[in-house]
Amino acid sequence: MKKVLSMVLVAAMTMSLLAGCASNDTASASTDSSTTQAQADSVDTSDTSADSTDGAAASGETFKIGGIGPITGGAAVYGIAVMNAAQIAVDEINAAGGINGYQVEYNFQDDELDNEKSVNAYNNLKDWGMQILMGSVTSGCCVAVAAESAKDNMFQITPSGSSVDCITNPNVFQVCFTDPNQGIAAADYIKDNNVASKVAVIYDSSDVYSSGIYAKFAEEASAKGLEIVSAEAFTADNKTDFSVQLQKAQENGADLVFLPIYYTEASLILSQADKMGFDTKFFGCDGLDGILGVENFDASLAEGVMLLTPFAADATDDATVAFVTEYNKRFGENPNQFAADAYDAIYTIKAVLEAGNVTPSMSVSDICESAKSGMTSVSIDGLTGLAMTWSADGAVNKAPKAMEIKGGEYKLIQ
Amino acid sequence: MRFLNYLINGISLGSVYAIIALGYTMVYGIAKMLNFAHGDIIMVGSYAIFCLMSLTGLSPVVSVVLAVLICTALGITVEAIAYRPLRGAASPLAVLITAIGVSYFLQNMALLIFGANTKQFTSVINMEPLSLFGGSVTITGETIVTIISCILIMVLLLTFINKTKAGQAMLAVSEDQGAAKLMGVNVNGTISLTFAIGSGLAAIAGMLLSSSYPSLTPYTGSMPGIKAFVAAVFGGIGSIPGAFIGGIILGIIEILSKAYISSQLSDAIVFMVLIIVLLVRPTGLLGKKIQEKV
């Protein structure tokens, strides 16, 4: 009896191991086919950009943009969104005549959220002939790849690697806000729009993202004269009970609680505040994006919660509507902010290449030098921000978009 | 008034620790093993209630009863498969490590079945918060129900152990397994029964934990489980009233140190207090000193 039971248990564990591995090798090869199709679609584009097109058509030269991100594993949601959205952007650009009259080839490689695999993917892409890199999607991988791309002086733009370490090299630029910049943007937004005058903060001191935002938020708040009445931390090991943090905020008369944290803890804070009858405004960063996706979540708790996030799928401007419709049509779901960042990244590449009048025959390093100087002069109206500009250190300047949760949906505050 | 509020928050957090600690201490007291998977059985109980309520639309009471049955079955199964074969093992470490293994197994199974996404638990307790002193102090319905359940379960357990035949068998097993066997007590059956009761309590603890702190993930049970274990040691592991008192005191220390010292250091302070208590009273607050007879 004992033996039978233990055999069953062993069998069950083995099965679960197998089940875990099964879904791995599916998505990595799927990107190339559509690029070649896009090339075939747009042969007759010579009228858009007069002088260079003939040469391009004759020699068959193309820009080769590589992408790296996790399309399997724990952060697959982010990588797939970036891969898909960048594909949409590339197809649109090719259909409209390419960049400087040259078609764009796009190749996206999986890094499984692993730094070493990200560097391998980078080397694979170099063998393929990549001239410009859009990636990596996550901060850790991006830092690893940036060390390599700096050696090659390859122009690199990351859609979503938000750590400041991603952009220490001069050849790397970010589309998303850096973590500290979110803190500054949040303090500015609260002060400039008179959202509140007395702010309490609850942050996770054991998390780089959260404590990074808090540090800059506090700095900017004191510079701007925004009063922080209480700043209470919690840690990864102590994140179920927030009664003290909330009570301190309430006692100190906070009219807004700033939550630079992820939505799992935020949902607990909201329900505890509700239970203790603390009626206040909550304000968060992009980590709160997703709170409405918590299964069985009582959306009335989040009513009126404000968050700074670069992109809302329900925004009504033409560009967003067109992008969301196209994304839905192709991939059957609403794009998230990572998708929007990637879409903007591709169009940013297009803009800097056009500003520098770059051609594919130039060397990788020459393209990079031209693009680097282009980055500091272009201004992009993208999905994740209007009039985005970049400083030479690689960080983006853009006005964050503030959303408010109303009636169970993210609504853009106009 | 402010202090009173903190105190009540502390009691409400402590009552959750206490109810989890009851299960720990019960199993330790009788089977003399630390069931580190207890926190994860609580998580399974929470998921069971969540699924029964949201998927099949059963009433809260029926869901809780079914969850208790599910957890009881799980507890008996885990004991039979993972712990019983090791009971005779040369080193008591074997069972301890297996318990940690079971804990990870349950977490990862939950991860596989339910995914990593947080689920919001709908509180099964529908009770208006109690307002005192003109609304300056409120006690949530969850706290009241948790404390009452704690006391009720404690009394029931003590009565069961002291007044019934099965309970007497448990006492016998806890004192000397070999001698109990010689006296005709079914040791395996008694320990199974202990696990059954402990795991059934875990389902109730899961209900109360998730009603107070409604976000549900596969790791929901692990940290409260460890804190409750500390509470059980604090109160004197093996002692049922000790678990209750230990849990409440731990909750109060945690909240007060968060409130008056530092919200980041509260865990460090809690564990420091534990060390001091153990230095002064090695068996915990209410622990019995067992004399080894040579």
The two beta strands, A385-390 and A396-397, are: antiparallel
pLDDT of amino acid A29: 40
Structure tokens given for B231:
């509470």
State the ipTM, two decimals. Answer: 0.79
Chain A residue numbers with beta carbons less than 8 Å from the beta carbon of B257 are none
Binding-site residues on chain A for chain B (CB distance < 8 A): 2, 5-6, 9, 13, 16, 19-20, 205, 232-235, 237-241, 243-245, 247-248, 251, 263-265, 267-268, 271-272, 275-277, 293-298
pLDDT of amino acid B292: 56
Long-range contacts of B64-69 (CB under 8 A, 24+ apart): B64/B124, B64/B203, B64/B204, B64/B207, B67/B203, B67/B206, B67/B207, B68/B200, B68/B203, B68/B204, B69/B200
Pair (A304, A362) in one structural domain: no
Domain count along chain A? 2
Which residues are paired to B120 by β-bridges?
Answer: B215
Nearest CA in chain B to A246: B259
Please give the sequence-ordered ranges of beta strands (E in DSSP) within A123-275, or none if there are none. Answer: 132-134, 155-158, 172-174, 198-204, 227-234, 256-259
By the 10 Å C-beta count (0-12 exposed, 13-18 middle, 19+ buried), A39 is classed as: middle
Residue of A211, A237, A244, A279 to mutate, testing the B interface (most B Cβ within 10 Å of its Cβ): A244
pLDDT of amino acid A39: 41
A167, HSE (Cβ side, Cα atoms, 13 Å): 23
**Digit-coded pLDDT (tens) for B30-40:** 888 888 899 99
The model's confidence at residue B69, banded by pLDDT at 50, 70 and 90, is very high
Chain A residue numbers with beta carbons less than 8 Å from the beta carbon of B264 are 205, 233-235
What are the extents of the domains in chain B?
22-220
Pair (A278, A323) in one structural domain: no
Give a yes or no: residue A133 inside a domain: yes
Residue A122's domain comprises 52-177+318-397
Pair (A217, A111) in one structural domain: no
Q: Which of A190, A227, A231 is nearest to A210 (CA)?
A: A231
Say how far apart CA A171 and CA A25 lie, in whole Å: 32
pLDDT of amino acid A55: 41
Q: Which of A164, A100, A170 is nearest to A368 (CA)?
A: A170
Give a yes or no: residue A6 inside a domain: no
Pair (A255, A160) in one structural domain: no
**Digit-coded pLDDT (tens) for B215-258:** 888 888 888 888 898 899 888 888 888 999 999 999 999 999 98
The model's confidence at residue B294, banded by pLDDT at 50, 70 and 90, is low
Q: For position A270, which CATH number holds?
A: 3.40.50.2300
Count of CB atoms within 10 A of residue B4's CB? 12
Q: Over its length of 414 residues, how does chain A's per-residue pLDDT go in tens digits?
A: 556 666 666 665 555 554 444 444 434 444 444 444 444 444 443 344 444 444 444 457 899 999 999 887 667 778 889 999 999 999 999 999 999 999 999 999 998 888 899 999 999 999 999 999 998 988 889 989 999 999 999 999 999 888 888 888 899 999 988 877 888 888 888 888 888 888 999 998 887 778 888 988 999 899 988 889 988 988 877 888 888 889 889 888 888 999 998 888 888 899 888 888 888 889 988 778 777 777 778 888 888 888 888 887 777 788 899 999 999 999 888 888 889 999 999 999 999 999 999 999 999 999 999 999 899 999 998 888 888 999 888 888 887 778 888 887 777 776
Pair (A230, A157) in one structural domain: no
SS3 A365: helix
pLDDT of amino acid B108: 87
Task: Give how far the C-alpha of residue A274 lies from the chain's centroid of Cα atoms, to the nearest Å.
Answer: 31
CA distance B10 to chain A (A): 9
Of B84, B112, B223, the CB nearest to A237: B223
| Pairwise CB contact (< 8 Å): A295 & B120 | yes
Rounded to 5 degrees, φ, ψ at A295 are -60, 135
Pair (A208, A300) in one structural domain: yes
Q: Is residue B263's pLDDT more than 90?
A: no
Pair (A276, A326) in one structural domain: no
Contact (Cβ atoms closer than 8 angstroms) between residue B118 and residue A294: yes
Pair (A88, A170) in one structural domain: yes
Q: What are the DSSP calls for B201-263, one per residue?
A: HHHHHHHHHHHHS-EE-TTTTHHHHHHHHHHHHHH-TT-HHHHHHHHHHHHHHHHHHHHHT-T
CB pairs under 8 A between A and B: 96
Last residue within a domain, chosen from A275, A309, A343: A309
**Digit-coded pLDDT (tens) for B125-166:** 777 777 777 767 778 888 888 889 889 998 999 999 889 999
Pair (A169, A242) in one structural domain: no
Give a yes or no: residue A298 inside a domain: yes
CB neighbour list of residue A71: distance below 8 Å, 6 or more residues apart: A27, A28, A79, A80, A83, A108, A110
Pair (A191, A166) in one structural domain: no
The model's confidence at residue B42, banded by pLDDT at 50, 70 and 90, is very high
Of B12, B120, B138, the CB nearest to A296: B120
Say how far apart CA A203 and CA A235 lie, in whole Å: 8
Of B105, B119, B263, the CB nearest to A294: B119
Say how far apart CA A396 and CA A376 lie, in whole Å: 10
Last residue within a domain, chosen from A274, A290, A309: A309
Pair (A219, A164) in one structural domain: no
B244, HSE (Cβ side, Cα atoms, 13 Å): 14
Pair (A184, A300) in one structural domain: yes
